[in-house]
């Protein structure tokens, strides 16, 4: 009997210390899939590949990045929603397909993020940077607001689509500043920046990683970042909120890991712990910062509360701006 007890204890100890989910997928050695709901080559893709590389040390079976772009990130999210709830398929989701899209697309959504996806961990907050064509006669937010008030409906701003964080950045600026701009949706950041540099559009909100080559070459000029305070990776660029009348301005994109609802709690906890260790890795944090992201470790429960609070912020901007899938 003592020998049986010792054997049982050893089995339980091994299970508790297992580096990753003891799921069927893991047992057969199938690599874990990290779904990135955007095209390869962009900043989100870069973040996904950094995370996958770091997690490979936690997951012996390997981690493979799969790009599933389309429908404002919703195609990739649907792939995870429809996957087996065993932790073998993860989503690197943005604020768009996990919090904003339900507010904008409503009945057109084929999944409900709050019911069909289980939040695991916040990876990074990514403020956008507001950049302008060099010939636009403004050099800061205060001057931009004054120009916008003097020229209603003349300013144009580009985003990478209706209802995404960039679009909400523009709507929040208009609401708080009392100005009216014309929204010009695009299908990608590169085209936005090219047209702002050419003067076809006055402004755009975009990630710093995407804008940096254009800023360094003088093709566009940075006016502000959209976070509440200056970003650690761009301390020379002021925050919109530094202009006193817009002190309440703060709206960022963010990215986190999700799995299909119904994934066992122990598997979720192991995933969260593995990602948490990655977020403590100084090399990983520095690499995310180079992509324009601020790593902010938090527990799984804190991430759920964060999503809830962010959704309330987004809902107000969507309602105040009368944003729908058509505009």
- pLDDT tens digits, 166-218: 999 999 999 999 999 999 998 777 789 999 999 999 999 999 988 999 999 99
Within the chain, all domains assigned CATH 3.40.190.150 are found at: 26-126+253-320
**pLDDT category of residue 9 using cuts at 50, 70 and 90:** very low
Q: Helix (H) and strand (E) counts for the chain?
A: 14, 10
Arch. (CATH architecture) of 128-246: 3-Layer(aba) Sandwich (3.40)
How far is Cα of residue 304 from the mean position of the Cα atoms in its chain?
A: 15
Mean of pLDDT values over 2-15: 39
- Where exactly does CATH 3.40.190.10 map onto the chain? 128-246
Q: Give the residue with greater pLDDT, 147 vs 3.
A: 147
Class of domain 26-126+253-320: alpha beta
Residues 6+ apart with CB under 8 A from 229: 239, 241
Averaged pLDDT, 91-110: 93
pLDDT band at 315 (very low <50, low <70, confident <90, very high): very high
| Residue spans of alpha helices (H) in 117-221 | 141-150, 165-177, 189-198, 208-216
**In angstroms, what CA-CA distances link 175 with 28, 38, 116, 248?**
54, 29, 33, 11
């Amino acid at each position: 009997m003592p020998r049986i007890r010792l054997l049982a204890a050893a089995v339980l100890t091994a299970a508790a210390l297992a580096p990753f989910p003891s799921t069927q997928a893991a047992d057969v050695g199938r690599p874990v899939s990290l779904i990135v709901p955007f095209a390869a080559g962009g900043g989100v893709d870069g973040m996904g590949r950094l995370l996958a590389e770091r997690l490979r040390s936690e997951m012996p079976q390997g981690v493979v990045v799969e790009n599933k772009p389309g429908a404002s990130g919703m195609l990739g999210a649907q792939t995870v929603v429809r996957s087996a709830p065993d932790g073998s398929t993860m989503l690197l989701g943005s604020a768009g397909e996990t919090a904003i899209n339900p507010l904008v697309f409503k009945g057109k959504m084929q999944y409900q993020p709050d019911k069909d996806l289980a939040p695991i961990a916040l990876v990074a907050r990514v403020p956008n940077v507001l950049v302008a064509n060099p010939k636009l006669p403004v050099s800061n937010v205060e001057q931009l607001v004054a120009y916008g008030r003097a020229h209603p409906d003349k300013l144009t701003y580009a985003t990478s689509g209706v209802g995404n964080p960039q679009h909400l950045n523009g709507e929040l600026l208009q609401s708080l500043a009392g100005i009216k701009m014309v929204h010009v949706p695009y299908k990608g950041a590169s085209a936005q920046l090219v047209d702002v540099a050419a003067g076809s559009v006055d402004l755009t909100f975009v990630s710093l990683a995407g804008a940096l080559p254009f800023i360094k070459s003088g093709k566009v000029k940075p006016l502000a970042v959209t976070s509440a305070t200056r970003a650690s990776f761009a301390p020379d660029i002021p925050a919109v909120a530094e202009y006193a009348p817009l002190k309440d301005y703060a709206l960022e994109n963010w990215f986190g890991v999700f799995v299909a609802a119904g994934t066992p709690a122990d598997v979720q906890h192991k995933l969260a712990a593995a990602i948490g260790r990655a977020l403590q890795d100084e090399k990983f944090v520095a690499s995310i910062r180079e992509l324009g992201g601020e790593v902010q470790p938090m527990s799984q429960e804190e991430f759920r509360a964060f999503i809830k609070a962010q959704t309330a912020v987004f809902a107000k901007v969507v309602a105040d701006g009368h944003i729908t899938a058509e505009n």
